[in-house]
A = this chain, B = another copy of it.
Amino acid sequence: MDKKTSNFKSIGIVGLGLIGGSLGLDLQKLGYQVHGLVHRSSTAKRAQERGLAQIISTDPKILNTCSIIILALPLEQLLEPDPQLINELPMEAVITDVGSVKTPILEVWQKLHPNFVGSHPMAGTNKEGVEAGIENLFKGKAWVSTPEANTNLEAVEIIKKLAISLGCNWITTNANIHDQAVALISHLPVLISAALLKTLSSEEEESVISIAKVLASSGFADTTRIGGGNPQLGSSMIANNTSAVLRFLNSYKESLNKLEETIISQNWSSLKEELEKTKDIRPDFLNEK
């Protein structure tokens, strides 16, 4: 491989969708030279028009001169990376990803590159693809890193500085705890929100459904938002975090059954107490976000 001198102002982004495109916009504003690798030439053309990176190509060789490379790819492509891509990653570069499940990614990538840092910026919208990237997506959001015992700590420091320069709060934890936490606050909510939408589609009383459609308002919109999100992302997050998701789904069903018991037994003071507790716990999870 023909490697040029490392230059920390040159950053490669693999994939210019919501996360990659947003990173491209912000990193250029911060003065970096951004090289964007995409799969199709039609995407390259549109990404160029949108100014998502200075250099955009379908040829992984554009990564050769980059000192930091961010893999902004869907989980499946992170877990079964293209050999051509791996071939073109400079050995001295620092590599990170943005995948929403960390344990299986570390299993793959720790073997593939000496300077791999597993990370996960907690930012998103309901958009996807080359049109989705926006400025300031990361400001004020958490950027989680999950270093292992053999992770290069200098590489971690480089990604930390990058995340902080984008306005993120840097969080360090281990991959297993990260994966359980996101199962609880992100993957389980996809399922319970989707199940509500599924309940609507299985209701057979058309008169009820047609009035429900007219009456559904903000509370309904909020509760169903992530169950009506990106199906590919939702299913792949869950597919790659199965044991944690199933554990919390089980706990969720118990919680729901306990609430149901208060209704069946018409124990309204107990139902109200439960709702007081849930009202009290919620702000603990939304502090300063």
Contact = CB atoms under 8 A, between A and B. Distances in A.
Nearest to A169: B214
A180 B196 contact: no
Contact of A285 (B123, B181, B213): B213
Contacts of A79: none
B219 A189 contact: yes
Contacts of A256: 191-192, 195, 249, 253
Interface residues of A, number: 99
Given A208-B181, A213-B285, A216-B285, A198 B234 contact: no
B181 A215 contact: yes
Interface of A: 122-124, 141-142, 144, 169, 171, 173, 177-178, 180-182, 184-186, 188-203, 205, 207-209, 211-232, 234-236, 238-239, 242, 245-246, 248-249, 251-256, 258-260, 263-264, 266, 268, 271-279, 281-287, 289
12 contacts: A142-B215, A169-B214, A171-B215, A180-B205, A189-B220, A189-B223, A191-B259, A201-B281, A224-B278, A234-B272, A238-B263, A242-B263
7 cross-chain pairs, A with B, having the tightest CB-CB distances, nearest first: A228-B282, A231-B275, A197-B278, A198-B255, A235-B272, A181-B211, A181-B212
